[in-house]
Amino acid sequence: MALRHFLTLMDLSPAELETLMQRAIQLKAEHKARKTSVQFPNHVLGMVFEKASTRTRISFEAGMAHLGGHAIFLSPRDTQLGRGEPVEDSGRVISSMCDIIMVRTFEHSIIERFAAYSSVPVINALTDDHHPCQLLADIQTFIEHRGSIKGKQVAWIGDGNNMCQSYIHAAMQFDFTLKVACPEGFEPRADIVAKAGGRVEIFREPADAARGSDLLVTDVWASMGQEEEKTERRRELAGYQINSALMAHANPDALYMHCLPAKRGEEISAELMDNPKTVIWDEAENRLHAQKALMEFLLLEARA
């Protein structure tokens, strides 16, 4: 069978994603009961990070430890990748010694090239275009708090970035509609929107996207790699904040999420961030459980 990677949410079928979500919920319960089974002793996860991370690193590293394996953190400061060794050569070599690899990098084409030369499954741990692992955690969180997301309405408020583009894929795969509110020039990629058909609509007014929504989601206005555009982005995106005034347009039991790290007072109000009822902290924790389910799925597929 062909090697399976997870470079975007489109790499798994809707049925596989649904099963993965149920497994993540089960693994979470097992973890809480301290009953995680050590399924992958002697397995090694290679973790290639070309950008910073708190949640992704900890969730993958802890997750692999729970499964009985080991993880190796590889930063460009310490590897030859950082000194210009070709991505293709790195993919070939790292995969010859690891059982599974996650990569966080810049252009999406870098992870595609890496995966093309890898002999083991490769997981996208964030690129400039996609952040599919975060979507697994977000959907798991929605299911835990509100049940199935199928047929629901989700509003994306702010920059049409990597997270927004993964939300478009999620709308297609988990069967919900997505309303994106962003200023002109900050839209998600037109080809990604086009593939989603009528499921995704772009608005200028945050309230128009929020109206009738079951979930509101946002993310930082300047993503990693856009540090120099920070001031201009702050100016352009002002007004695209998730706060209680915006939540008032959504359904009464609507949730709001943020993948973190967040900037209180920019894309999300401090009041919502610090609301004791927020599910944002569950969303962060679910990275661990969802990615354990993902690693298990890919490792078992690679064995088949």
Residue holding tokens 């460009």?
76
Positive/negative CA dihedral, 268, 269, 273, 276: negative
Q: Which stretch binds ligand CP (CB under 6 A): 51-59, 107-115, 173-181, 274-282?
A: 51-59
273 binds ligand CP (CB under 6 A): no
213 binds ligand CP (CB under 6 A): no
Inter-axis angle of helices 14-32 and 280-303, to 10 degrees?
A: 110
Token readout for 72 is 């190796």
DSSP for 80-140?
Answer: GGGGT--HHHHHHHHHHH-SEEEEE-SSHHHHHHHHHT-SS-EEES--SS--HHHHHHHHH
224 binds ligand NVA (CB under 6 A): yes
- Does residue 211 have an active-site annotation? no
53 binds ligand CP (CB under 6 A): yes
Provide the annotated binding site for carbamoyl phosphate: 53-56, 80, 104, 131-134, 259-260, 287
Range 256-295, binding ligand NVA (CB under 6 A): 259
Question: What are the backbone dihedrals phi and psi of residue 279, each rounded to the nearest 5 degrees, phi first?
Answer: -95, 5
Which one among 260, 273, 278, 282 touches ligand CP, defined by CB under 6 A?
A: 260
By CB under 6 A, the count of residues binding ligand NVA is 10
Q: What is the C-alpha to C-alpha distance for residues 172 and 183, in angstroms, rounded to an integer?
A: 23
Question: What are the backbone dihedrals phi and psi of residue 180, each rounded to the nearest 5 degrees, phi first?
Answer: -100, 125
220 binds ligand NVA (CB under 6 A): yes
Provide the annotated binding site for L-ornithine: 162, 219, 223-224
Q: Are 173 and 14 in contact (CB under 8 A)?
A: yes
Q: Which stretch binds ligand NVA (CB under 6 A): 21-29, 105-113, 157-165, 235-243?
A: 157-165
- Does residue 259 have an active-site annotation? yes
Of 159, 153, 104, 95, the C-alpha closest to 127 is 104
Residue 207 interacts with which of ligand NVA, ligand CP, none, CB < 5 to 8 Å by class: none
62 binds ligand CP (CB under 6 A): no
User: Among residues 165 and 177, whose Cβ is nearest to ligand NVA?
Assistant: 165
Q: Which stretch binds ligand NVA (CB under 6 A): 12-20, 216-224, 230-238, 276-284?
A: 216-224
- Does residue 287 have an active-site annotation? yes
Three-state DSSP state, 213: coil
259 binds ligand CP (CB under 6 A): yes
Residue 34: what residue type? R
Q: What is the C-alpha to C-alpha distance for residues 10 and 172, in angstroms, rounded to an integer?
A: 9
Residue 140 interacts with which of ligand CP, ligand NVA, none, CB < 5 to 8 Å by class: none
Range 123-142, binding ligand NVA (CB under 6 A): 126, 131
- Does residue 134 have an active-site annotation? yes
Residue 80 interacts with which of ligand NVA, ligand CP, none, CB < 5 to 8 Å by class: none
Question: Among all residues, whose Cβ is closest to ligand NVA?
Answer: 223
Residue 161 interacts with which of ligand NVA, ligand CP, none, CB < 5 to 8 Å by class: ligand NVA
Q: What is the C-alpha to C-alpha distance for residues 182 and 200, in angstroms, rounded to an integer?
A: 13
Of 147, 144, 159, the C-alpha closest to 279 is 144
Give strand pairing partners of 54. none
User: Among residues 59 and 90, whose Cβ is nearest to ligand CP?
Assistant: 59
Of 295, 246, 1, the C-alpha closest to 122 is 295
Tell me which residues touch ligand NVA (CB under 6 A).
126, 131, 161-163, 219-220, 223-224, 259
Which of the residues are catalytic? 104, 131, 134, 219, 259, 287
